[in-house]
Every structure is written in C-alpha cells, then in structure tokens.
C-alpha cells in the first residue's frame, strides 16, 4: 500500500513541478480602459510593456534561474535553459529545498530531479529508489494530451499551459493589471533595468481556464513585478499570490537570450509512460 501511495504522490509531484518550475501564473487577457486623466501615462506604460513582450518572445530562448515557495507545501529552485520557438523545449534541474513536498521526495530517495521539456511531452528523471517502484524506469514521460487523467481533469489545462508558458507571459500577466506603473530604474545583476509593477485581480482575467485555476486555488489577487533591460528583454520577475496552501512567491532571473537549447528524449528502455502507470494504478485497460 505504501509503495502504491508513494508512486502516486511521485507522479503528481513531478507534474506539479513541471508547471511551477516554469512559471507561476500566466495570462493572455487585457484590462479595461483606464480613467481619462491617466490615459496618456497608461498608454505609454502599455506600449513599453508590449515592446518588452514582443522582444522577449522573439528572443526564443534564455537561461532561467528561479525560486518558488508555496506556503508550507514546498520551496524549490530551478536552473537551466528553455526555448520557445516551437513549443517549450529545454532542460531544468529542479531541487526541493523545503516543505512537505521536499519531505515526500526524500522518502522517494531524492530531492533533486532533471526535467526535460519537448513540444509533445515533459520528462522527469527520478531517483533510483523511485525506479525500484516503477519496474526499473528512471524517467517518467508525461504526454501533454494525457495530463487530463489527473484528478478532476485539471491536467488538460495544465498541459495547455505548459506548452504556452514562456518568459513573456509574465509581461502579458502584468498587462492585465488595472494599476500597472513604472517604479523606476534599478540594477539587476549588474544590468540597468526598468522596474514595472502591478496587481492582477483574478476575476478580471479574460482567460476562462486561468481564471478558474486561480479562483480554485483561492487566489483573488496577485502582484507582479518585472524588470526589463535596455534591449526590452525581461531580466527578472517576481510574482506573489495568496493561495489556499499559503503565500506563493516566485522569483525568476533570465539571461543569455538566444542561448542554444538541448533537450534529448531519454532512452525508451529507461522511460515509463505516465498514462500507462496511471492505468496500472487504477486497474483500467
């Protein structure tokens, strides 16, 4: 019984990690028209942010370092390279540093895992102890189209979001803010950058799937801060939201835009398929 439970927890953990390792929350919505007195200043702000969104999108790849904390549930770091010219591709090293999820991962034999993102699937490399419970397979493959097998079908939206999550999505989320403002010029890791900040209300997010995800997690508002360099590229972002599991905070740094990205498929002989494992767990054909 314990082995079955640990396998199930490990599978869901790896899927959750895939999302939080990339980004916290994203949006493709837009906010209502501002008041007449603020229109000119807001239009300038929105124009600058849209330039940052386009420049970051067109860069197509970057090196990513992030830290994420979700109340007492978990804290984790992610480090690697990601590309987004044709879906999400890349490799991240994800390490749990605290919380109940780190405790669970320790029982699975490791607190660190390698994550590989390809356009059609996400791969997670677990530890040797986990492999003992999955027929010797060290890698788990999650086809995005199969993620709907998660409880309540929430995996379907998760798969869609994973395939569309890129650094410029944080800029899009800020564009949904009704109070976006320029904070000023600051230095981020030795580079001059413009700091922008805003608060996003979940009820105002246009994307229905994202809005449901936010409200389902108990999120009513989220603060977003981004730093954009002189090339209009995103170099840092901080997102904070109060969730049902506690305060979520994610900080990410982006550098080396245009870096070469590699994400090789693991050997089939060492890879278990998430859909097959779920069917074996539930006993369905």
Residue 21 scores a pLDDT above 90? no
* CA proximity to 11, closest of 133, 187, 163, 172: 133
Q: Give the distance, in angstroms, between the CA of residue 47 and the centroid of all CA atoms in the same chain.
A: 25
Q: Write down the residue that tokens 């994203």 correspond to.
A: 26
Question: What's the pLDDT band for 212 if we cut at 50, 70, 90?
Answer: low
Q: What is the mean pLDDT of the chain?
A: 77
> 165 falls in which pLDDT band (50, 70, 90)?
low
Taking the C-alpha atoms of residue 160 and residue 156, their distance in angstroms, rounded to an integer, is 6
pLDDT in tens, 82-131: 999 888 899 999 898 998 888 888 887 788 889 899 988 889 888 788 78
Lowest mean pLDDT among 6-10, 117-121, 180-184: 6-10
pLDDT given for residue 203 in this prediction: 75
Tens of pLDDT, residue by residue over 239-256, are 888 776 678 888 999 999
pLDDT (mean) for 12-29: 46
Q: What is the mean pLDDT of residues 179-201?
A: 92
- pLDDT for 4: 41
Domains in the chain (CATH in brackets) are: 44-282 (2.50.20.20)
DSSP 252-285: EEEE-TT-----PPPPGGGEEEHHHHHHHHHT--
Tokens found for residue 251: 């900080």
- Give the pLDDT confidence of 67-76 residue by residue, as tens digits: 988 888 888 8
pLDDT surpassing 90 at residue 261 = yes
């Amino acid at each position: 019984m314990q082995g079955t439970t640990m396998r199930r927890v490990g599978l869901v953990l790896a899927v959750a990690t895939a999302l939080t390792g990339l980004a916290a929350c994203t949006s493709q919505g837009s906010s209502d028209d501002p008041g007449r007195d603020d229109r000119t200043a807001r239009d300038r702000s929105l124009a600058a942010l849209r330039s940052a969104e386009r420049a970051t999108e067109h860069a197509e790849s970057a090196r990513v370092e992030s830290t994420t904390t979700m109340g007492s549930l978990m804290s984790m770091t992610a480090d690697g390279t990601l590309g987004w010219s044709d879906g999400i591709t890349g490799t991240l090293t994800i390490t749990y540093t605290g919380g109940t999820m780190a405790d669970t991962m320790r029982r699975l034999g490791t607190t660190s895992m390698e994550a590989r993102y390809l356009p059609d699937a996400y791969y997670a490399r677990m530890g040797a102890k986990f492999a003992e419970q999955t027929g010797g397979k060290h890698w788990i493959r999650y086809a995005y189209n199969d993620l709907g097998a998660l409880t309540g079908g929430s995996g379907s939206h998760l798969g869609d979001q994973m395939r569309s999550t890129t650094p410029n999505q944080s800029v899009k989320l800020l564009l949904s803010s009704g109070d976006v403002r320029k904070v000023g010029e600051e230095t981020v890791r030795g580079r001059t950058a413009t700091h922008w900040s805003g608060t996003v209300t979940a009820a105002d997010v246009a994307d229905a799937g994202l809005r449901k995800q936010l409200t389902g997690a108990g999120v009513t508002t989220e603060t977003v801060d981004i730093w954009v360099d002189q090339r209009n590229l995103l170099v840092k972002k901080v997102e904070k939201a109060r969730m049902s599991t506690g305060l979520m905070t994610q900080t990410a740094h982006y550098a080396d835009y245009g870096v070469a990205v590699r994400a090789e498929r693991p050997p089939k002989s060492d890879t278990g398929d998430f859909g097959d494992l779920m069917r074996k767990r539930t006993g369905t054909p």
